[in-house]
């Protein structure tokens, strides 16, 4: 059942509200088990797929030998409109390519290259018009797992952070950074524990950019911060996670992993609208992760105040989702294994 607690905030003297919830606390539960399959005929080997502007699809290519990392396709015809994301080491080229598409109706989308530690701000309208689509790029900190662009700054999730006091490095979860271009930086040193394998979350902001949300990779937990990075609300549920860890010391460094035979998986991906947040939740809690038999997922719909609106239960494992502008249709990129 839903319960609300007022607790002291991490890393400062403020207070935040913690809400504990279970699946019965959603206003509605809907089973989605009869999907319509969409074929993109000219996509050779697609990986992540996103609906944009209700009639287009952007997808990344799984095959690394292809000249381009991604393509823009017509949703209705399945035909290729334009390839983009040229593979290479040039200033506008990509070694690695991860799409970051947050809204179906937005002109702006993002691309991350984790090898070069670069992040691109891109224009969909320019892409459609066959113009230069890369508006801006910056080199993000190598100590950041996920980030959210905010005007000339970005908010990054620090991969030296962990909630576990036993392995703490005494750093804050979120930090603000100035967007700069240049060679990729060095990973910070001087911390006691390497915790990047057991920490992380998606970072995104509401439409007014007043609140920053973090959806945890490894448990059912959502943190909401204000624009001063003060924690104001936590949503915990629908499952109670009890993480088990192991510590491996190697070359004088302490690496933290989840205990052998266990895995923990919370939020896998998300999409946003003007009024709502949609979060894909897996809920693997201490059992082995089986890539040959991926779990069915749930999609939690919330408003920007953190109210639980709907739990959509899928009979598929989704790795990327989108919704149309009327929020009548859910588009999911799904895998069995």
CA dist 123 and 106 (Å) reads 9
* Region 111-128 average pLDDT: 97
Instruction: List C-alpha distances in Å: 62 to 44, 49, 69.
Output: 9, 11, 8
Kindly compute the dihedral angle of the four CA atoms of residues 5, 8, 9, 15, in this order, to the nearest 10 degrees: 70
CB of 95 closer than 8 Å to CB of 116: yes
Those residues with Cβ within 8 angstroms of residue 290's Cβ, 6 or more apart along the chain or in another chain? none
DSSP class per residue in 242-300: ---EEEEEETTEEEEEEPTT--EEEEEEEEE-SSEEEEEEEEEESSPP-TTSPPP-EEE
22: Cβ contacts below 8 Å, ≥ 6 apart = 1, 2, 237, 238
Look at 37-46, 82-91, 207-216, 275-284 and tell me which has the smallest mean pLDDT.
37-46
The pLDDT assigned to 252 comes to 83
pLDDT at 7 over 50: no
Cα–Cα distance between 317 and 255 in angstroms, integer? Answer: 30
Please name which of 284, 242, 287 lies closest in space to residue 267, comparing C-alpha atoms.
Answer: 284
Residue 23 has pLDDT above 50, yes or no: yes
Rounded Cα–Cα distance for residues 98 and 85 (Å): 10
Q: Note every long-range contact of 58-61, with CB atoms under 8 Å and residues 24 or more positions apart, other chains counting.
A: 58/99, 58/101, 58/109, 58/124, 59/99, 60/85, 60/97, 60/98, 60/99
pLDDT tens digit sequence for 149-172:
998 999 999 999 999 999 999 999
Mean pLDDT (the chain) is 93
Q: What is the largest CA-CA distance in the chain?
A: 57
pLDDT at 268 > cutoff 50: yes
Q: What is the H or E stretch that residue 124 is in?
A: helix 124-128
Q: For the residues 285-289, what does the mean pLDDT come to? A: 93
Q: What is the DSSP letter of 167?
A: G
Per-residue pLDDT of 176-199, as tens digits, reads 999 999 887 778 878 999 999 999
- DSSP letters for 286-336: SSPP-TTSPPP-EEEEEETT--EEEEEEESSEEEEEEE-TTS--EEEEEE-
Q: What is the pTM of this model?
A: 0.94
pLDDT at residue 12 tops 70: no
> Are the C-beta atoms of 136 and 155 separated by less than 8 Å?
no
Q: How far apart are CA 87 and CA 94, in angstroms?
A: 5
User: For 205-238, what is each residue's pLDDT tens digit?
Assistant: 999 999 999 999 999 999 999 999 999 999 999 9
Tokens read off for 247 = 């510590």
């Amino acid at each position: 059942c839903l319960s609300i607690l007022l607790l002291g905030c991490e890393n400062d003297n403020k207070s935040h509200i913690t809400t504990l919830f279970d699946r019965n606390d959603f206003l509605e539960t809907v089973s989605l088990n009869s999907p319509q399959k969409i074929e993109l005929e000219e996509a050779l080997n697609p990986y992540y797929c996103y609906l944009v502007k209700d009639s287009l699809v952007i997808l990344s290519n799984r095959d690394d030998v292809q000249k381009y990392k991604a393509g823009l396709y017509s949703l209705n015809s399945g035909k290729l409109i334009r390839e983009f994301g040229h593979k290479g080491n040039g200033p506008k080229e990509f070694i690695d390519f991860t799409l970051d598409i947050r809204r179906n109706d937005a002109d702006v989308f993002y691309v991350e290259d984790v090898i070069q530690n670069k992040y691109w701000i891109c224009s969909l309208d320019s892409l459609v018009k066959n113009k230069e689509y890369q508006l801006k790029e910056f080199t993000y900190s190598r100590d950041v797992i996920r980030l959210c662009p905010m005007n000339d700054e970005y908010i990054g999730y620090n991969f030296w952070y962990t909630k576990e006091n036993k392995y703490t490095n005494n750093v804050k979860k979120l930090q603000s950074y100035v967007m700069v271009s240049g060679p990729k930086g060095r990973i910070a040193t001087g911390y006691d524990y390497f915790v990047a394998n057991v920490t992380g979350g998606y970072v995104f902001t509401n439409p007014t950019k007043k609140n920053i949300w973090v959806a945890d990779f490894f448990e059912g937990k959502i943190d909401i911060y204000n624009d001063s990075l003060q924690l104001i609300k936590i949503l915990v549920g629908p499952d109670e996670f009890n993480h088990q860890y192991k510590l491996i010391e190697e070359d004088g460094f302490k690496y933290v992993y989840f205990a052998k035979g266990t895995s923990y998986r919370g939020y896998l991906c998300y999409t946003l609208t003007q009024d709502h947040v949609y979060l894909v939740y897996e809920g693997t809690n201490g059992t082995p992760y089986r890539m040959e038999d991926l779990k069915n997922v749930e999609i939690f719909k919330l408003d920007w105040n953190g109210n639980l609106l709907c739990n959509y239960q899928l009979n598929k494992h989704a790795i990327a989702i989108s919704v149309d502008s009327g929020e009548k249709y859910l588009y999911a990129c799904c895998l069995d294994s």
